[in-house]
Amino acid sequence: MNKTIIAHDADEMEEIGVDLARELEDGMLVSLVGPLGAGKTTLTKGIAKGLLVTDVVVSASYLLERDYQGRLVLHHLDAYRIGSLAEFAEVGLDRLLPPEEGVTVVEWPERVDGIVERSDFLVRIEFLDGGARRVEITRASTRPRPPRPHSAGSDRPRAGSL
């Protein structure tokens, strides 16, 4: 699923999130890259809606992370004030990058080296003239998945995948 969509208003932005939520599975990491006020939280609200979260999603800026229960748990992170993965580790949030359970959506991932690179979906939002936004969604199919904890023989090399 690689595509570029124009969102003319906040409702259309949310709809993009609803659509994206259909693609999400346990253990996935979604990076939302875009300038201040681009619509990252609005898109996250749509993802939450698509995941059948009933709580109201608010900005994660001040708490760094909020969890919402839906079809999958949604972990909403904001890396704006974080300088490195080590800092995320200090507050115990590196376990969500990617999460073992649920999906993680990160605003400002580009401020911390390594987050965008390990994402399953990269969403780039740009302002267009007139206030609309261009939203480009890229699916990374090549991120190495961590070994599954319960898979037989995971402690020795195996031929083939899975």
Positions that interact with ligand ATP (CB under 6 A): 7, 9-10, 12-13, 34, 36-42, 59, 107, 131-133
Tokens representing 24?
């999400």
Task: Print burial letters for 110-145: b (CB count within 10 Å at least 16), e (below 16).
Answer: ebbeebbeebbbbbbbeeeeeebbebebbeeeeeee
Size of the site for Mg ion (CB under 5 A): 4
Using Cβ positions, the residue closest to ligand ATP within the complex turns out to be: 39
Question: How many helices and strands, by DSSP H and E, does the chain display?
Answer: 3, 7
Is 133 near Mg ion (CB under 5 A)?
no
19 touches 65 (CB < 8 A): no
Query: Out of Mg ion, ligand ATP, none, which partner does residue 31 contact, by CB within 5 to 8 A per kind?
Result: none
- 37 vs 146, beta carbon nearer Mg ion: 37
Candidates 17, 33, 34, 41: give the one binding Mg ion (CB under 5 A).
41
DSSP-assigned beta bridge partners for residue 1: none
Note whether 40 binds Mg ion by CB under 5 A.
yes
Residues that bind Mg ion (CB under 5 A): 40-41, 59, 107
